[in-house]
Amino acid sequence: MMFMRKYLLLNIILIWVTLLPISAARAQVHWQFDVPFVPTPYVVIEEMLRLAEVTPRDFVMDLGSGDGRVLITAARTFGARGIGVDLDGDLVAESIEAAKAAGVSDRVQFLQQDLFKTDLDRATVITMYLMPGVMARLQPRLLELKPGTRLVSHDFRLGDWKPDAVTQVRKNAFLWIVPAQIAGRWQLTMALPGGEHRMTLELRQKYQEIDGFGQFSDRPSQIWEPRLRGDRLSFVIVDDRDRDNEAALYFDGQVRGDVIEGELRRGTGRTQTRHAWRAQRVAATKP
């Protein structure tokens, strides 16, 4: 494991150092921007787009699009549409030509533009090969994007935001799914056997990692297996109203601002029953 880490670190340094001379003439120009131009190898691009589960329904934005290869692959291989932005006008011109040659200019657009001044709201997937300082600056904006937006990065992390998935095919590829903001106190209503039941729920959150507790009957109840993936929230509470007939309640719901709506399954197997539930946020706490 130690050897593997050292090897990977060495690999990253070697790749950056050896690839820089490729754009030696450009490097003097490119280094004036936040990140130099170092292209992502195609096999790594495919892995990043696979990890982000890109489909023709996606709108991909490549921040610092270089020679356009990420977006062109997203369009040609995965059928996606999108925009690439780069401050380097020569690279943007090169990308536009490459998109024409690949027959995808109707699906992709390249703009000479600062990624920090680019509106990211349209993106369903964002791809990045940027340096750690740039990633750290971008992180707060990325976290405010629509829940469910997938962010995928070649080699570099987004500060202390734990990735939802990591793969290594030659290089590290990291995936984050923008989580809904669910911190706060919620009032839940559910239609259980025996009538409507109400409970309060306190949720805490650090990025996609969540925990909390509820007040199911007249005692505090633990929340088990809490998970947040984009706008999908799931957790389990034990229905302990009747000690001789306890059952797990498997909640699954979609977060839309201050409302969560979904279905819960009570129990398992043949005795399982399904019920609607809804929650309204009654007090927010900062994430």
> How near is the Cβ of 56 to ligand SAM at its closest, in Å?
21
Q: Which stretch binds ligand SAM (CB under 6 A): 83-91, 95-103, 209-217, 274-282?
A: 83-91
> How near is the Cβ of 183 to ligand SAM at its closest, in Å?
31
Residue 269 token pair: 């197997």
> How near is the Cβ of 63 to ligand SAM at its closest, in Å?
7
DSSP 38: -
Q: How many Cα neighbours within 13 Å face the side chain of 130?
A: 27
* Whether 70 contacts 51, CB under 8 Å: no
The 3-state DSSP class for residue 228 equals strand
Name the residue number minimizing CB distance to ligand SAM. 64
Under rule CB under 6 A, residue 82 binds ligand SAM: no
Cα 81 to Cα 108: distance, rounded to the nearest angstrom: 6
- For ligand SAM (CB under 6 A), the number of binding residues is 24
Q: Are strands 220-222 and 209-215 parallel, antiparallel or unpaired?
A: antiparallel
> How near is the Cβ of 109 to ligand SAM at its closest, in Å?
14
Chosen residue from 52, 70, 75, 142 binding ligand SAM by CB under 6 A: 70
Cα 79 to Cα 69: distance, rounded to the nearest angstrom: 14
Under rule CB under 6 A, residue 38 binds ligand SAM: yes
Paired residues of 237 in beta bridges: 249
Residue listed under structure tokens 């389990």: 236
Under rule CB under 6 A, residue 171 binds ligand SAM: no
Under rule CB under 6 A, residue 62 binds ligand SAM: yes
Under rule CB under 6 A, residue 34 binds ligand SAM: yes
> How near is the Cβ of 48 to ligand SAM at its closest, in Å?
9
Chosen residue from 114, 202, 252, 258 binding ligand SAM by CB under 6 A: 114
Phi-psi region of 207 (alpha: psi -120 to 50; beta: other; left: phi over 0): left
Chosen residue from 46, 47, 58, 88 binding ligand SAM by CB under 6 A: 88
- Tell me whether residue 80 or residue 255 sits nearer to ligand SAM (CB atom): 80
Cα 34 to Cα 46: distance, rounded to the nearest angstrom: 25
Q: At what angle do helices 89-102 and 69-78 cross, to 10 degrees?
A: 20
Which residues have CB under 8 Å from 217's CB, separation 6+? 240, 241
> How near is the Cβ of 107 to ligand SAM at its closest, in Å?
17
- Tell me whether residue 86 or residue 239 sits nearer to ligand SAM (CB atom): 86
> How near is the Cβ of 70 to ligand SAM at its closest, in Å?
5
Task: Looking at the chain, list the stretches that DSSP marks H as alpha helix, in order from N- to C-terminal side.
Answer: 2-19, 24-30, 42-51, 69-78, 89-102, 132-143
Under rule CB under 6 A, residue 40 binds ligand SAM: yes
Note the residues at the interface with ligand SAM (CB under 6 A).
30, 33-35, 37-40, 62, 64-66, 69-70, 85-88, 91, 114-116, 129, 154
